């Protein structure tokens, strides 16, 4: 098979860091090629170079055997290269078709020919089994569907090489399954797929080849069918990885968080959480699992005070906090790792050290009266950077926006775990993290448990819920339909409860 893409000896420097250090990537036409590497290894940078968003400092790029200079994304488009970004770039009150033809509207005389555009969208959608309604308004369709619109946008522009940067991070297991199917369809039709993912299972499932990067360097390219997950993990991290965390049985104490008959409305005005009750004890981790959109977000937002409570109680160490301010809740011992790192987690325009003290910059040791103590703010950042292995080019002074997605996530997790709250609401803590980082974060969450904290863990990753939790509550349609011991259940049983097929309480 000829190489449709060749990137040879690519170097890309950013302030304080060589993001790509003589990286080579050779991609066969008609294959699915995975890109694997730790957070900050340089995967997104390499793909941004291929898509013309960054210029390499040196190196050669060949597309279909011909050397090219990809000055900007327009050149990439002309070469048939398309990219689906992690944050979709869709206009929410436009239809699917309007979004797809944006910027390249087909015309009949002076009027835009929406009809023929819609027909073409429908045809492409059918060919690849995308199942997208060309007339639907973006804000009314699911995240998974929005992603397909982005895929359609590339196909509509005749892209031959499709780059996906962590496409499954925001999808439900069902949607992931469907996306894998779509990718296979794409290569059957002669397209080439480049896939960045941290999930080895996904690589095993769909990819033909896998290229591994570590700290900006090229480690190797392996045929996926002949390489184990453990081997790929080892290549990327440089050591063996424990996929399952070690933990002692829980020693639960008194109840620190008790939720009684909670009702919460969702943005549509319907009850997202219905008459929900649960309790979390000191020294235990209660995992909550469910298919995305079954009330998890409303539950977290109600506990942390981001959404008003319709009725019911939230008792923190016996005190009802259901109607007190966010600030008061946190001063009573509540802590929170938010699921949306951009909305509630980080201020991207701040420096890393500033983001690491957003909760306590006005207190000792970070402030003396009204005066900030920059030295202790920096020391704090250096300590967390080392403990959590946050990769950042310029240390404490790194602009947060310039950090890789996974390292931004590590920064939030570091900040919140370090506060060591008594009642800890942990939502999607390892989204976008590499396997090594996941291993470490899990260990730290369990260490908090063993210090006697009460932890409520929400995750869409079943493996994570099963591995880390002591007990598991299953949420379906805003209600708890199952409550089981983690050691006495499995993916199958959880799946049945998550789809509302069975109920169970021990």
Ligand X SMILES: Nc1ncnc2c1ncn2[C@@H]1O[C@H](COP(=O)(O)OP(=O)(O)OP(=O)(O)O)[C@@H](O)[C@H]1O
Q: Which residues bind ligand X (CB under 6 A)?
A: 14-15, 17, 19, 37, 39-45, 391-393, 402-407
- Which tokens go with 415? 């900040």
**Closer Cβ to Mg ion, 121 or 163, answer by number:** 163
> What Cα–Cα distance (Å) separates residue 135 from each residue in 118, 178, 282, 308?
8, 21, 51, 34
How far is residue 34's CA from residue 43's CA, in Å, rounded to a whole number?
A: 10
> Across-strand partners of 190?
none
197 lines the binding site for Mg ion (CB under 5 A): no
> Across-strand partners of 255?
281
**Closer Cβ to Mg ion, 212 or 273, answer by number:** 212
45 lines the binding site for Mg ion (CB under 5 A): no
Q: Choose the one of ligand X, Mg ion, none that binds residue 312, judging by a C-beta under 5 to 8 angstroms depending on kind.
A: none
Q: Choose the one of ligand X, Mg ion, none that binds residue 19, judging by a C-beta under 5 to 8 angstroms depending on kind.
A: ligand X
Q: Choose the one of Mg ion, ligand X, none that binds residue 39, judging by a C-beta under 5 to 8 angstroms depending on kind.
A: ligand X
- With CA atoms as reference, report the closest residue to 252 among 2, 482, 453, 59: 453
31 lines the binding site for Mg ion (CB under 5 A): no
Q: Choose the one of Mg ion, ligand X, none that binds residue 40, judging by a C-beta under 5 to 8 angstroms depending on kind.
A: ligand X
**Closer Cβ to ligand X, 53 or 372, answer by number:** 53
Q: How far is the CB of 76 from ligand X (least distance, A)?
A: 17
Q: How far is the CB of 38 from Mg ion (least distance, A)?
A: 10
Q: Binding to Mg ion (CB under 5 A): which residues in 403-432?
A: 404-405
Q: Choose the one of Mg ion, ligand X, none that binds residue 144, judging by a C-beta under 5 to 8 angstroms depending on kind.
A: none
Helices vs. strands in the chain: H and E counts, helices first? 16, 25
Residue 203 CA from chain centroid, whole number: 16
Residue 464 CA from chain centroid, whole number: 14
| Contact assessment for residue 173 and residue 91, using Cβ atoms and an 8 Å cutoff | no
**Closer Cβ to ligand X, 289 or 403, answer by number:** 403
For 296-339, give the DSSP string.
Answer: HHHHHHHHHTSS--SEEEEEETTEE-TTS-HHHHHHTTEEEE-S
Q: Choose the one of ligand X, Mg ion, none that binds residue 471, judging by a C-beta under 5 to 8 angstroms depending on kind.
A: none
> What Cα–Cα distance (Å) separates residue 340 from each residue in 17, 69, 71, 335?
27, 36, 33, 15
Q: How far is the CB of 298 from ligand X (least distance, A)?
A: 29
**Closer Cβ to ligand X, 41 or 151, answer by number:** 41
By CB under 5 A, name the one of 44, 398, 408, 459 that touches Mg ion.
Answer: 44
Q: Choose the one of ligand X, Mg ion, none that binds residue 210, judging by a C-beta under 5 to 8 angstroms depending on kind.
A: none
| Contact assessment for residue 461 and residue 469, using Cβ atoms and an 8 Å cutoff | no
Q: How far is the CB of 151 from ligand X (least distance, A)?
A: 20
Q: Choose the one of Mg ion, ligand X, none that binds residue 338, judging by a C-beta under 5 to 8 angstroms depending on kind.
A: none
**Closer Cβ to ligand X, 41 or 132, answer by number:** 41
**Closer Cβ to ligand X, 46 or 161, answer by number:** 46
For 274-289, give the DSSP string.
Answer: EEEEEEEETTEEEEEE
Q: Choose the one of ligand X, Mg ion, none that binds residue 391, judging by a C-beta under 5 to 8 angstroms depending on kind.
A: ligand X
Q: How far is the CB of 385 from ligand X (least distance, A)?
A: 12
Residue number closest to ligand X, CB atom: 406
Q: Binding to Mg ion (CB under 5 A): which residues in 346-405?
A: 404-405
**Closer Cβ to Mg ion, 194 or 300, answer by number:** 194
> What Cα–Cα distance (Å) separates residue 483 from each residue in 119, 172, 486, 498?
48, 21, 9, 11
Cβ contacts of residue 426 below 8 Å, gap of 6+? 336, 337, 445, 455, 456, 457, 458
In total, the chain counts a number of residues equal to: 506
Residues that bind Mg ion (CB under 5 A): 44, 404-405
């Amino acid at each position: 098979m000829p190489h449709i893409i060749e990137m040879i000896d690519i170097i890309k420097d950013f302030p304080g860091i060589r993001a790509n250090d003589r990286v080579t990537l050779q991609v066969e036409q008609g294959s699915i090629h995975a890109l694997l590497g730790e957070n900050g290894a340089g995967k997104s940078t390499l793909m941004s170079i291929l898509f013309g968003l960054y210029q390499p400092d040196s190196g050669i790029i060949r597309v279909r055997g011909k050397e090219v200079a990809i000055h900007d994304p327009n050149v990439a488009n002309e070469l048939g290269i398309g990219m689906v970004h992690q944050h979709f770039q869709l206009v929410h009150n436009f239809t699917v078709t309007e979004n797809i033809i944006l910027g390249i509207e087909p015309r009949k005389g002076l009027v835009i020919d929406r009809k023929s555009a819609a027909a073409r969208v429908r045809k492409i959608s059918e060919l690849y089994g995308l199942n997208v309604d060309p007339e639907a308004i973006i804000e009314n369709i699911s995240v998974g569907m929005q992603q397909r619109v982005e895929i359609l946008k590339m196909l509509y522009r005749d892209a031959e090489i499709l780059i996906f940067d962590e496409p499954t991070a925001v999808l439900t297991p069902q949607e992931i399954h469907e996306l894998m199917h779509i990718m296979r369809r794409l290569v059957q039709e002669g397209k080439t797929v480049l896939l960045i993912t941290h999930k080895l299972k996904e690589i095993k499932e769909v990819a033909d080849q896998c290229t591994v990067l570590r700290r900006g360097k090229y480690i190797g390219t392996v045929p996926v069918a002949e390489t184990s997950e453990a081997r790929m993990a080892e290549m990327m991290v440089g050591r063996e990885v424990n996929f399952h965390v070690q933990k002692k049985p829980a020693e639960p104490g008194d109840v620190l968080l008790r939720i009684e008959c909670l009702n919460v409305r969702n943005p549509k005005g319907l009850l997202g959480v219905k008459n929900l009750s649960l309790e979390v004890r000191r020294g235990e981790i209660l995992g909550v699992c469910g298919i995305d959109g079954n009330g998890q977000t409303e539950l977290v937002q109600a506990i942390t005070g981001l959404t008003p409570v319709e009725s019911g109680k939230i008792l923190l160490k016996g005190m009802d906090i259901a109607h007190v301010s966010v600030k008061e809740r946190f001063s009573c011992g509540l802590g929170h790792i938010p699921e949306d790192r951009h909305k509630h987690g980080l201020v991207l325009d701040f420096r890393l050290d500033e983001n690491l003290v957003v909760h306590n910059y006005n207190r000792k040791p970070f402030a003396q009266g009204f005066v900030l103590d920059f030295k202790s703010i920096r020391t704090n950042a250096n300590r967390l950077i080392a403990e959590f292995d946050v990769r950042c080019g310029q240390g404490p002074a790194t602009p947060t926006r310039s950090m890789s997605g996974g390292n931004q996530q590590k920064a939030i997790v570091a900040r919140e775990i370090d506060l060591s709250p008594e009642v800890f609401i942990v939502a999607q803590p390892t989204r976008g993290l590499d396997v090594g980082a996941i291993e470490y974060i899990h260990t730290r969450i369990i260490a908090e448990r063993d210090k006697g904290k009460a932890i409520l863990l929400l995750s869409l990753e079943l493996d994570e819920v099963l591995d880390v939790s002591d007990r598991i509550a299953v949420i379906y349609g805003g209600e708890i339909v199952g409550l089981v011991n983690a050691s006495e259940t499995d993916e199958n049983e959880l799946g049945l409860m998550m789809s509302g097929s069975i109920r169970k309480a021990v």
